[in-house]
Chains A and B, each alone.
Chain A
Amino acid sequence: MKITIASGKGGTGKTTISTNLVSYLSTLKQSVVLADLDVEEPNSALFLRGDLEKEQVSYKMIPKWEEADCTFCGECADVCNFNAIVALSDEIIVYPELCHSCYACSELCPTDSLPMTSERIGEIKAFTSDGFSFIEGRLDLGQEMAVPLIAQTIDYVDENFKNHIKIFDAPPGTSCPVIEASRGSDYVILVTESTPFGLNDLKLAVETMRVLNQKFGVIINRYGIGDNGVETYCADENIEIITKVKNDREVAKLYSKGELIYPKIGHFRDSLDEIVTFIGGLKCEK
């Protein structure tokens, strides 16, 4: 069972829900693993204490220009869909940060002047905590493309945690990284807040999930602020609201100290219970 916690808008509470949910599930004797897929700025680790179990470096393949036989025909730049190569009259310049590792330039170069080589993009770390595992993908500074590392982090989780409930903490937004973090999952939970901003970005996220043909539901966080736009929208669109997490200053205080919420706030635990029950229902469906 794979569940992605996503959102259109940033700062709606993906990480708060993810970290508390995984910890709470482990207290219910469930085998569970959390993967922080927000590889550009992973922050789940701020709320979870764990021992580093394993770390591995991640690479992506990029072409490396070899001058010797190059005829400067420019085929490499022409076939690149991502403008990652500029072919000048006396030099071929590769921009690794734009490269999608498609191999087209390398394969089609008539003189084999662009062999593929590996480049470090980041690392994957595995931690064990009280009763659950926690995996973090972290992109190196200066790397622009998150998708390859997100894919590798998901692969790592799939290989090492076959029978676990897998919770994926996704990046915000609706672009490629979110799609990569969502498309292989059984279900996507969109965390939003009941404000016009929350609603606007929720609509974008819903559109994205529909294009992906992905099953999804909504959690309204900080319920009680803003207006009832999100609820009206969900009712009109037949979108399930899994739970409404009450707006509470005490939650924010615990969050700001890097603490988990559910051990101390009863209504937050009640919301987690609703999520757990919902996930139980999904498992039965499967």
Chain B
Amino acid sequence: MHELSLIESMLSIIREEKAKHGMDRILRVRVVNGALSGAVSDALAFGWECLTQEGDLQGVALEITDAPLKVVCGACGKPFEPEDKHYMPCPACGEILGHTVTSGKELYIEEIEADIPEDGEPATGV
């Protein structure tokens, strides 16, 4: 529902990194979106399209990698990948409560592909 504001935060991070690394033109941005992040990948893609129609990041490609949900059982410690986000019986002991999420909560920018001139001096101390 608030994917547009998430994209706005992403754009400001990207602009910071662009300046920091002396990037000329950004070609592609890769984002990792976990199954439990609350952000819907399709809505992120749509928000990105809307907010990069013009301006300095016009036409930059957004690539979204969906990170699967992985948990460790709260009772027996078995790691497993639940099929359902809300009801997660452990395949080994059947416990449904108290699991620790090891993957799936994340939403982060993993990498940026850009033209960086040879003399593009990375700024320091940012």
Do A and B come together as binding partners? Answer: no
B-side residues, CB < 8 A to A, are none
